[in-house]
């Protein structure tokens, strides 16, 4: 066994996505030595889709030393809900900035001066008196004063620390995709591109908004349009079928977009043309590589385990309706740094962090469940669907979806 020691005040971050990068950048600016272990063997840039921003997210970016200017995303001023025929049902003025996962990763990664190791698969973590350790798949053991698990919604660290806690499927999936601005027709571009748009046919919900394009460009003509389409999907038969590739392999942790079967994509595109407003049907049809994600809920009773802490989706997974995933992770990182500054003892700091953020995480998950109640009701009784429909007016959806709230 090869044991690596470091005498500096050090933090190891497990997971090099956005939550891990927020934690790393904020700790580095607070005087910590930081090392990131990312399990994937290649850089993460280019993954993901659209992100809704909130003031708390901008606060965290600025605290991480990142200049927030117009290039951070695309600003829209209005929201619109379209009828099945494509005409506006309701509109409201709601200024907001939309960005992309790739853009956020790019600015956070460039700001990070700590060590970033790819292909570093963590097999276990342990908290000891005075230090914590991380063991990698190669057998090496790495020592730190603090270990942060920011390894996502299927966190291996969380599974080790809280084996009884599991993801709860919500009863529906979200198809997602990006289409280049230049590929949209002039009519569709005029109707929805510069807006946060919705369509609410029976049993369905789709929304879309503009984000940065290739090379994170926010210049007119070089942006992309991002869509999220929620569809009720039975867990016992429909979901396993969608997760099975052409060779018969079932991808329980989520199927890679390139392995989604052609018949599944064809069925999805046919449904779009039948159910959605023409503008959204065009967006779906012209998306080069759609993908989908099963929608889950996840809560944990605690986020601190001695010198080990959970952060972001490793602790709480909220449905995308509230648009708080990245902001929640950034808020966790901010709260952790504040707690470490207020408490000389790392374990005491993490306990304070856990107390504060468990309450916030539970509130966000409950709010997201409220926003997703209509979709969850689609696989229940007719009465449940009728009751859910009463509260799904265009005005309510536009007013509540992905808006800033204090949790």
Sketch the domain layout of the chain as residue ranges: 3-42+118-166+298-370, 70-100+170-296+379-400
Which pLDDT does position 86 carry in this prediction? Answer: 98
What does 14-79 look like in DSSP terms, one character per residue?
E--SHHHHHHHHHHHHTT-EEEEE--SSS--TT---EEE--HHHHHHHHHTT----GGGSEEEEEE
pLDDT at residue 80 greater than cutoff 90: yes
Task: Find the length of the chain.
Answer: 407
Q: Which CATH number fits domain 70-100+170-296+379-400: 3.30.230.10, 3.40.50.920, 3.30.70.120, 3.30.9.60?
A: 3.30.9.60
**Alpha-carbon span 51 to 66, nearest angstrom:** 17
pTM for the whole thing?
0.93
* Average of per-residue pLDDT across 300-304: 98
Region 345-362: mean pLDDT is 98
For domain 3-42+118-166+298-370, is the CATH number 3.50.50.60? yes
- Is the backbone of residue 183 left (phi > 0), alpha (psi -120 to 50) or beta? alpha
Residue 48 is predicted with a pLDDT of 56
**Residue 21 predicted with pLDDT over 90:** yes
CB-count burial class (<10 Å; 0-12, 13-18, 19+) for 78: middle
Of 295, 326, 294, the residue nearest 313 (C-alpha)? 326
The Cβ of residue 151 has, within 10 Å, a number of other Cβ atoms equal to 27
d(CA 351, CA 328): 18
CA 48, chain centre distance (Å): 8
pLDDT (mean) for 275-282: 98
Which H or E element spans position 386?
Answer: helix 382-390
Q: pLDDT per residue over 196-218, tens digit each?
A: 999 999 989 999 999 999 888 99
């Amino acid at each position: 066994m090869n044991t690596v020691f470091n005498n500096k005040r050090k933090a190891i971050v497990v997971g090099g996505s956005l939550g891990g990068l927020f934690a790393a950048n904020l700790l580095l600016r607070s005087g910590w030595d930081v090392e990131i272990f990312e399990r994937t063997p290649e850089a993460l840039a280019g993954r993901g889709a659209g992100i809704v921003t909130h003031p708390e997210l901008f606060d965290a970016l600025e605290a991480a030393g990142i200049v927030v200017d117009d290039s951070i995303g695309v600003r829209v001023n209005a929201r619109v809900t379209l009828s099945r025929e494509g005409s506006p049902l309701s509109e409201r003025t709601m200024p907001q900035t939309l960005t992309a996962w790739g853009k956020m990763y790019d600015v956070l990664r460039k700001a990070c001066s700590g060590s970033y190791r790819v292909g570093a698969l963590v097999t276990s973590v342990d908290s000891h008196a005075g230090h914590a350790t991380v063991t990698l798949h190669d057998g090496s053991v790495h020592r730190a004063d603090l270990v942060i698990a920011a390894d996502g919604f299927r966190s291996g660290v969380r599974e080790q620390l809280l084996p009884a806690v599991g993801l709860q499927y919500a009863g529906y999936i979200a198809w997602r995709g990006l289409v280049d601005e230049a590929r949209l027709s002039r009519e569709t571009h005029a109707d929805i591109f510069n807006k946060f748009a919705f369509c609410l046919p029976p049993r369905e919900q789709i929304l879309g908004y503009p984000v940065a394009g290739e090379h994170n460009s926010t210049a007119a003509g070089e942006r992309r349009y991002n869509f999220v389409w929620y569809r009720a999907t039975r867990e016992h038969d429909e979901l396993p079928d969608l997760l099975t590739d052409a060779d018969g392999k079932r991808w329980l942790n989520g199927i890679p977009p390139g392995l989604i079967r052609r018949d599944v994509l064809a069925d999805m595109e046919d449904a779009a043309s039948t159910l959605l407003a023409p503008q959204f049907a065009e967006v779906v049809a012209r998306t080069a590589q759609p993908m989908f994600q099963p929608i889950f809920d996840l809560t944990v009773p605690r986020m601190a385990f001695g010198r080990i802490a959970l952060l972001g989706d490793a602790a709480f997974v909220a449905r995308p309706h509230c648009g708080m995933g990245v902001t929640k992770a950034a808020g966790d990182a901010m709260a952790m740094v504040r707690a470490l500054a207020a408490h000389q003892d790392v374990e005491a700091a993490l306990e304070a962090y856990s107390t504060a953020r468990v309450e916030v995480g539970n509130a966000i998950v409950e709010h997201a469940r409220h926003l997703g109640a209509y979709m969850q009701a689609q696989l229940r009784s007719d009465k449940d669907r009728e009751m859910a429909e009463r509260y799904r007016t265009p005005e309510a959806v536009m007013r509540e979806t992905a808006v800033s709230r204090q949790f």
